[in-house]
Structure 1
Amino acid sequence: MALNVIPPIQDSAAGLIEASSTDVDEHCAALGRWRLRYDQISAGAFRGSFIQLSLPRVEVFREITSQQVRQYGQLGADSFGIGLPWRGDSEVNCNGASVAGAQVIACVDAEVDMCTPKSFELRGVVASAALIRDLAARLEIDLPRAVWHQLRVFEMAQAPVARLRAHLEAIHEAIATAPERFQDPTVRQALEDALLVEIMDMLPTARPTDPGRSANARKRTVDRARELMHGNGDRSLSLLEVCKAAGASPRKLGYCFQAVLGTSPMHYWRAMRLNGVRRDLKRAGGAGTSIYDVAVQHGFWHFSQFSLDYKRHFSELPSETLRRARRAA
């Protein structure tokens, strides 16, 4: 399968960036200054697109991903971000809470860790946390403490959320039909001011959602299991070892993963290890690289089953990934 990557297109006058890709890592690399990492959880060919319009002090974005993805990292140092799920096959999960209705995802200077569903679209705004703090002080607005230093799902007043949605809809319609209008500095400034008015109207009404004690307990169990899965050095633990270390039976762990991530622990872990193999193969490129050795390093001992799983997950064989890496070397 040929990698169909459209390199980022940047219009310096309008501050417009557009990119699309059939590879989750290439998609992630197109996210500008965002320092995020994506892992593809669901199986199938990946399709992603990203559009960003840079205004004087604010960036407006639209992101579409075809597969279920875990996103983690940072938007950037001292960044404020607010995101509105636009569509998806199911709910997005953020810190154990799902987003619906007038809820939004927001954070200031925080780590990002969320799981998005298949066929997902997210639209939103990113700015500096300093800008948000300065505007709040000037307008005598008390920002809720819960928006700082943690990605959260918030209940907010419906009216400003609806107005922000309308602004974002109009912006992306204009990007598709008449992007030249954003070359006018007056238009860009007026648009930024309108967005900031709605954001400053929304934030004082923000109330973090409380998933409840049982949901929090499930989230802690999943976090502990994922920490073991991801942080065990060169040796791949067995699922039994993860269950024992997390203090959960396989049945309980499966229930927790399904509630928090929408998938089973075995599928999640296999997906993470397959992503690891793919990245190692793409980095390798050398003639001496052995697919079998790389697979074994990530805990795959049954090579024919590994090849089938890899093909099912990424819609290409591991040999095709390695062949492309060698051509690019």
Structure 2
Amino acid sequence: MNNNNVLIPPASVAVRSALPIQRFLTSDIDEHARNLGGWQVRYDQLTPGRFEGELIEFRSDWMQLVRDRSNQAMTKSGMAWKGAITFSIPLSAHGSVYCSGHPIHELSLLVAHGENLPELRTPQQLDLLGVAIEEQALEHLLERQGSHFRITDLPKCYRLGNSSVPAELAALFDELSGCDQQRDALLGYDSIRRGIRDAVMLHLLELVAPDQAPPLNPTARKRMVDRAREYALGHLDEPLSILDLCNHIGASRRKLQYCFQETLGINPVAYLRALRLNAVRRELRKSTQSHGVQEVAARWGFWHLSRFSSDYRTMFGESPSQTLRRTQLC
């Protein structure tokens, strides 16, 4: 996909940016298919009426996220970019999806090789999240975590049931789609993009590769937590994510969370957030330059600034701007 500003047909309105997120609105179904960056797909409308489509695309290294909304039933066929493994998660759907002629009546996750996508017949008013991941990157993650999920077994369907993952991913994209100039600037930081990517990856692993290992005994739990903390404390100069810890110690997020909760009475997400909040405070306290709070917070992976400010005030009893102001007055 070309990120430069280009002339587009009147039927389509696109907001193009050099940053990792792009948003497209269109009333032309073929234009909607072409807006899917790097894919070669064909959409054929099946129900009567004016087509309305929205596509929000986010890229970060080896991952492409696409939220695809449409108001008409259609058939979808084609392929993703070479070397991609695709995850298709319906966030909402009014009716059944047909995959290669087989009806899927419950909301389900479909995983497939990007170069061999099954044909889909979608219902009207579909809100779909598509995730494309480089096969080598996915294999590396699965190997590091000792997962039993096998790429050779695709395509596969997983019933979502009462999983909270679709709602959490929808909330993430709601925040992304509300981008203003401030949010666009935040997405320019590698730490922010990596944090979003890693969060999505953990959600997907939870769906396709749930931890089925028996619980660890107290000694083994403490050993795992000690290894995770040692790694985190040895990398205080970078904003680590839970995925970083999971990959380092070879454990799923669920197992890591269980071990932290049983050993320290805190979950690993809160533990890493506390380390990063402390890192922000130290940087603000020793700052002799004109770095603002937003810039420092973004470097440490905080992209929801109001939530960051609230967490900071709760942790330290003052706002980050008050910390910075005291430093500059000294």
Which residue of the partner structure matches residue 314 of structure 2?
A: none
The sequence identity of aligned pairs, in percent, is: 16
- For residues 200 and 88 of structure 1, do their structure 2 counterparts lie closer, same or farther at Cα, with a shift above 3 Å needed? closer
Which residue of the partner structure matches residue 139 of structure 2?
A: 133
Distance 1:115 1:196 in 2: 26
Which residue of the partner structure matches residue 159 of structure 2?
A: 155
Which residue of the partner structure matches residue 311 of structure 1?
A: none
Deviation at 1:145, TM superposition (A): 5.7
Which residue of the partner structure matches residue 27 of structure 1?
A: 32
- For residues 81 and 74 of structure 1, do their structure 2 counterparts lie closer, same or farther at Cα, with a shift above 3 Å needed? same
Is the CA contact (8 Å cut-off) linking 2:106 and 2:159 kept in structure 1? no
Confirm whether residue 143 of structure 1 aligns to residue 149 of structure 2.
yes
Which residue of the partner structure matches residue 122 of structure 2?
A: 116
Q: Deviations over 1:147-174 (max 9, x none)?
A: 42x3x4223585xx52354034223323
- SS at structure 2 position matched to 1:53: strand
- SS at structure 1 position matched to 2:119: strand
Which residue of the partner structure matches residue 80 of structure 2?
A: 75
Which residue of the partner structure matches residue 91 of structure 2?
A: 86
Which residue of the partner structure matches residue 172 of structure 2?
A: 170
**Higher RCO (CA 8 Å, separation ≥ 6 residues):** 1
Distance 1:99 1:204 in 2: 22
Deviation at 1:122, TM superposition (A): 0.5
Letter in 1 for 2:77: Y
Which residue of the partner structure matches residue 241 of structure 1?
A: none
- SS at structure 2 position matched to 1:183: coil
- For residues 87 and 164 of structure 1, do their structure 2 counterparts lie closer, same or farther at Cα, with a shift above 3 Å needed? closer
- For residues 169 and 10 of structure 1, do their structure 2 counterparts lie closer, same or farther at Cα, with a shift above 3 Å needed? same
Calculate the aligned-residue CA RMSD, in Å: 2.4
TM-score, normalised via structure 2 length: 0.54
Confirm whether residue 38 of structure 1 aligns to residue 40 of structure 2.
no
Deviation at 1:31, TM superposition (A): 0.9
Which residue of the partner structure matches residue 201 of structure 2?
A: 196
Q: Deviations over 1:16-73 (max 9, x none)?
A: 1211211111111111111111111111111111110112221121111111110001
- For residues 4 and 118 of structure 1, do their structure 2 counterparts lie closer, same or farther at Cα, with a shift above 3 Å needed? farther
Is the CA contact (8 Å cut-off) linking 1:85 and 1:123 kept in structure 2? yes
Which residue of the partner structure matches residue 260 of structure 1?
A: none
Letter in 1 for 2:84: S
Distance 1:99 1:55 in 2: 32
What residue ranges of structure 1 are gaps of 5+ in the alignment?
A: 207-329
Q: Deviations over 1:92-115 (max 9, x none)?
A: 2213031524x2122134223100
Deviation at 1:177, TM superposition (A): 4.4
- For residues 135 and 73 of structure 1, do their structure 2 counterparts lie closer, same or farther at Cα, with a shift above 3 Å needed? same
- SS at structure 2 position matched to 1:26: helix
What residue ranges of structure 2 are gaps of 5+ in the alignment?
A: 1-8, 212-330
Which residue of the partner structure matches residue 54 of structure 1?
A: 59
Distance 1:33 1:57 in 2: 13
- SS at structure 1 position matched to 2:38: coil
Deviation at 1:7, TM superposition (A): 4.6
Distance 1:175 1:44 in 2: 26
TM-score, normalised via structure 1 length: 0.55
Distance 2:152 2:167 in 1: 23
Distance 1:93 1:146 in 2: 22
Distance 1:56 1:76 in 2: 14
Which residue of the partner structure matches residue 17 of structure 2?
A: 11
Is the CA contact (8 Å cut-off) linking 2:77 and 2:119 kept in structure 1? yes
- For residues 145 and 99 of structure 1, do their structure 2 counterparts lie closer, same or farther at Cα, with a shift above 3 Å needed? farther
Deviation at 1:175, TM superposition (A): 2.4
Distance 2:145 2:166 in 1: 19
- For residues 112 and 4 of structure 1, do their structure 2 counterparts lie closer, same or farther at Cα, with a shift above 3 Å needed? farther
- How many residues end up aligned between the 2 structures? 198
Is the CA contact (8 Å cut-off) linking 2:98 and 2:121 kept in structure 1? yes
